[in-house]
Structure 1
C-alpha cells in the first residue's frame, strides 16, 4: 500500500516554520491534522499557538513549551528537537512542500472516510437507504469544502477586496462589458424590485393550485438559459419530463399548450413548434423527473450536471418543496420541511448557485375575504421564512372572481427580499400558452390614470 505521508516533508516544514520569521503567512495555510506523525502535530501546535499570539519563536522556545508538558515531552524529546533544528528548511520550497503535505492529508481523509461510509452502509438500524445516502453525500461535501474553508479576515482586508470588486465592475460597465453578479428573473419590473438573485440565495415561489407557479418558474428557467446563457437543473417531482417539455415548447413557440399536447395544429403551428424545439435543443437545461426527490438526489444530479458542463451550474429549480423526501421521516411535517428548506439553502451555498423552490400554500387562505397570500400561508412556514432569501407569491384574481377586471394578469407579491424591495409587481398571463410576461407600458399608464382618478386627481 502506498504511504500517505512523508516524514522528510513534514520535518522540512517544521524546521522552516521555527527558524524563518518571514514564512509566518504560510503557517495559516496549514492545519494540525495535515501532519501525519503525532510528534509533528505537537510541534506544529506550539508553533501555531505562538504565531496566533503574535509572539516570536524558534526551536528553543518551542522545545521549552513542549518540555513544560510531561506528556508531550515523552513523545518529543530534546534529541528529536535537535534533529529538527539541524534540518535546515529552504524557504523557497515551502509552497511546494505545503502542497505535497496537503495532498497526503486529503488522501488520508478520503481513506478514513471510506471506512466511515462502510460503517454507515452496514448500519441498517440508524439509517434508511435515503438518509444513509444523504449522510454520505454530506460527508463527501464536507471533505470537498475543507480546503476552501474561509479564515477570519480583518475589516480592512475585506473592504479593500470589496472596493476592488466594485471598481472593477464599474470600469467594465463603463466600457460596455456585461458584468454578472447574480441572475435575473427576466421580468423587468420584478428584477427592478429584487435587484438580482444572488448566487447563494434560496428563492421560494408560493401559490395555491391553478395559479401557475410551475409555469412561472419555467418561464424564469427559460430566460436564464435562453437569454442569460445560464446552466439550469430542473428537479420536477410532480410532472414528467415530457410534460415539462410540452409546456416549454408552448411558451417559447407561443402556441396553445392544448395544440401541443393533442398534436392538432396547422402548418403555422408546426413552424412555431419546430422553432421552439430548435431553440430548446441549444438550451443548457437539464431535467430530472424523479418523483419526490430527496436532498441527496438534488446534490447527486447537481454534481452530474457540473461534470457534463465543465463545472458550470447557475441555478436549480425544485418543483415542489412539500413533495420532497425528507432526510429523516420523523412524522413531524414541520420538522421535515424545516430540514428540507435548510438543506436547500445549504445546497445553494455549497454549489454557489440559487435554488428556486416552489411551495404549496395553506388551504385556510381560501376562507379569507382577501385571498392574497401572506408569509404565514406557506405550509409549515416557520423554517422556510427563516431560510429563504426571497419569497414570492402568485395571485390571479380571475381564479376566484370570474368577472374580474384583472383577468389575464397576475400579481407577484414579494413577501421577503433580503437584498431587494418587497411589494407587488403585475405580469400579463396566458397560461393557455404557458406564459407570464411583462405588461405593456400602456397598462401601467392606464393603471396610473385610474389611481389618480380614485385619489381625486392628486
Structure 2
C-alpha cells in the first residue's frame, strides 16, 4: 500500500520556512494537518504562530518555544531542530513541495472519511438511513477542493471590480445589448422588475393554499428558464409523477387544454400543438425526479447527477413541495423539522451555486379571515423559512373564494420578502386549464390604473 505521507518533503518545507523569513504567503497556504509527523506538526504550529504575530521564526526561536513546553520537548530535541535548519533549503522547489503535501493530506482525509463512513453505516441506533446519508454527504463536502474559502478584501479592490462591472453593463446598454442576459429571470416582466434579480445562492419560497396554482406557477418559471434562457433545471416533484408533470408542460407549451392531453381526445390541430410542444421539450435541459417525500440527501444526490451529466451545468432546483420532504432528523417537532429542511435548502443553493425554488403550503387559518390574501405568518412552521429565504412570494386568486369575482382569470403574486428587490403585488393572467400563467396586457394595467384613480377620487 502506498504511504500517504513524505517525511523528506515535510522536512524540506519546514527547513525553508525557518531559513527564509519572506515566505509568509507560503506559510499561510499550509495547515497543521498538511503534515503527517507529529513533531513536524508541532514545529509548523510554532512557525505559523510566530508568522501571524509578525515575529521571527528561525530555528533558534522555534527551539526556544518547544523547549518551554514539556510535552513538546519530550518529542523533539535541539539536535533535530538544528539538523532541519542546517539542511539545504531550495525555495524555488517550495511550491512543488507544498503541492505534494497538500495532495497527500487530501488523500489522508479521504482515507479517514472511509473509516468514518464505515462507523456511521454500522451505527443503526444513532442514525436513520437518511440521517446517515446526510452526515456522510456533509463530511464529503468538506473534501471538495474546488470550493474556495471566502477571503477578506480591501475595499479599494472590491470597488474596482464593482465599478468595472457597472461600466461594462452601462456600455452594453449603450450598445443595445441586454447586460442582464445571463441573470436568471422568472419570465414575467412586472415580477422581474419587482424582484430586480435572482442570485445564484437564493432560496425562493412560493407559498399558496391548495387550488391557487403554485405548482403550475413554478412550472411556468422553470419552463421559461429552460426554453427561453437555455438554463438547466432539476425539478423534484414529491407530489406528482414525472408523466403528470410532463403532461402539464405539454399543455402549457402547446396551449392545448390539459384535459385534452390527459384524455387523448383532440383533433388534428390539437395533435399539431402536442407535437410542437414535444419538439420544444426535446431540446430542453429539464430533469424531473418524482420520488415521494424526497430528503435533502436525495436533492443533493440528484443535483450531483445532473451536474455530472451536463458537464457541471445546473442553474436552478425546484422542489414541490417543502412540507412533504423527509427531514434530516425526525424529532416530532414539526417546526424544528421544517427549520432543518429550509436551512438545508439554503445550504444546497450555496453549495451548488444555483437558486432553489421551494413550494410551500400555507396555514388553513387564513380561510377564516375576511381578507384571505396570504401574509408571512401564514407559511406553515414559518419562523425558520422566513429567516432562510431570500425571496418569498404568495399566490392569491380571488375567484377561488368569490365565484363572481371581477378578477376572474387573474392571479395576484404577492411579494412578501425580497432581500434585494421590492415587496408588493404583481398581477398575472391565468389559464389553469392550459397550465398557464402569463403577463397581462398593457391595456389591463391602464384600465386598472383608471379604476384605482376613480376609487381614490371618490373617497
With the shorter chain as reference, the TM-score category is over 0.9
Kindly provide the CA deviation profile for residues 207-254 of structure 1, in whole angstroms up to 9, marking residues without a partner as x. Answer: 000000000000000111111111111000000000000000111111
- Indicate how the Cα distance of structure 1 residues 142 and 180 shifts in structure 2: closer, same or farther if over 3 A, else same: farther
Whether the 8 Å CA contact 1:35–1:41 is kept in 2: the answer is yes
Whether the 8 Å CA contact 1:133–1:296 is kept in 2: the answer is yes
Instruction: State the distance in 2 between where 1:163 and 1:433 align.
Output: 45
- Segment of structure 1 superposing worse, 75-84 or 435-444: 75-84
- Segment of structure 1 superposing worse, 231-240 or 26-35: 26-35
Q: Report the counterpart of residue 231 of structure 1 in structure 2.
A: 232
Kindly provide the CA deviation profile for residues 384-434 of structure 1, in whole angstroms up to 9, marking residues without a partner as x. Answer: 111111000000001011111111110000000111110000011110110
Alignment length, in residue pairs? 458
- Segment of structure 1 superposing worse, 57-66 or 236-245: 57-66
Q: Report the counterpart of residue 421 of structure 1 in structure 2.
A: 422
Instruction: State the distance in 2 between where 1:261 and 1:371 align.
Output: 32
Instruction: State the distance in 1 between where 2:228 and 2:142 align.
Output: 34
Say what the alpha-carbon RMSD is for the aligned residues: 1.8
1:55 shift after superposition: 2.2
- Indicate how the Cα distance of structure 1 residues 169 and 36 shifts in structure 2: closer, same or farther if over 3 A, else same: farther
Instruction: State the distance in 2 between where 1:453 and 1:217 align.
Output: 35
- Indicate how the Cα distance of structure 1 residues 88 and 160 shifts in structure 2: closer, same or farther if over 3 A, else same: farther
1:142 shift after superposition: 2.3
1:194 shift after superposition: 0.6
Instruction: State the distance in 1 between where 2:347 and 2:301 align.
Output: 14
- Indicate how the Cα distance of structure 1 residues 73 and 179 shifts in structure 2: closer, same or farther if over 3 A, else same: farther
Kindly provide the CA deviation profile for residues 313-332 of structure 1, in whole angstroms up to 9, marking residues without a partner as x. Answer: 11100000000001111111
Aligned to 1:343, what secondary structure does the other structure show?
helix
- 1:7-406 equivalence runs, <5 A: 7-144=7-144, 148-171=148-171, 176=177, 178-179=179-180, 182-406=183-407
Instruction: State the distance in 1 between where 2:136 and 2:341 align.
Output: 17
Instruction: State the distance in 1 between where 2:322 and 2:357 align.
Output: 10
1:160 shift after superposition: 4.2
- Indicate how the Cα distance of structure 1 residues 43 and 309 shifts in structure 2: closer, same or farther if over 3 A, else same: same
Aligned to 1:255, what secondary structure does the other structure show?
coil
Q: Report the counterpart of residue 453 of structure 1 in structure 2.
A: 454
Instruction: State the distance in 2 between where 1:352 and 1:145 align.
Output: 15
1:56 shift after superposition: 3.2
1:345 shift after superposition: 0.6
- Indicate how the Cα distance of structure 1 residues 370 and 177 shifts in structure 2: closer, same or farther if over 3 A, else same: closer
Instruction: State the distance in 2 between where 1:251 and 1:107 align.
Output: 50
1:173 shift after superposition: 5.3
- Indicate how the Cα distance of structure 1 residues 185 and 249 shifts in structure 2: closer, same or farther if over 3 A, else same: same
Whether the 8 Å CA contact 1:181–1:198 is kept in 2: the answer is no
1:42 shift after superposition: 1.0
Whether the 8 Å CA contact 1:172–1:179 is kept in 2: the answer is no
Which structure 2 segments of 5+ residues have no match? none
- Indicate how the Cα distance of structure 1 residues 16 and 158 shifts in structure 2: closer, same or farther if over 3 A, else same: farther
Aligned to 1:143, what secondary structure does the other structure show?
coil
Aligned to 1:359, what secondary structure does the other structure show?
strand
TM-score where L is the length of structure 2? 0.96
1:178 shift after superposition: 4.8
1:156 shift after superposition: 4.4
- Segment of structure 1 superposing worse, 1-10 or 175-184: 175-184
Kindly provide the CA deviation profile for residues 136-172 of structure 1, in whole angstroms up to 9, marking residues without a partner as x. Answer: 1111112226962334444444444444444455555
1:76 shift after superposition: 2.1
- Indicate how the Cα distance of structure 1 residues 199 and 167 shifts in structure 2: closer, same or farther if over 3 A, else same: same
- Indicate how the Cα distance of structure 1 residues 147 and 356 shifts in structure 2: closer, same or farther if over 3 A, else same: closer
Aligned to 1:415, what secondary structure does the other structure show?
strand
Kindly provide the CA deviation profile for residues 158-215 of structure 1, in whole angstroms up to 9, marking residues without a partner as x. Answer: 4444444444555555553755664111111111111111111110000000000000
Aligned to 2:358, what secondary structure does the other structure show?
strand
TM-score where L is the length of structure 1? 0.96
Aligned to 2:100, what secondary structure does the other structure show?
helix
Aligned to 2:127, what secondary structure does the other structure show?
coil
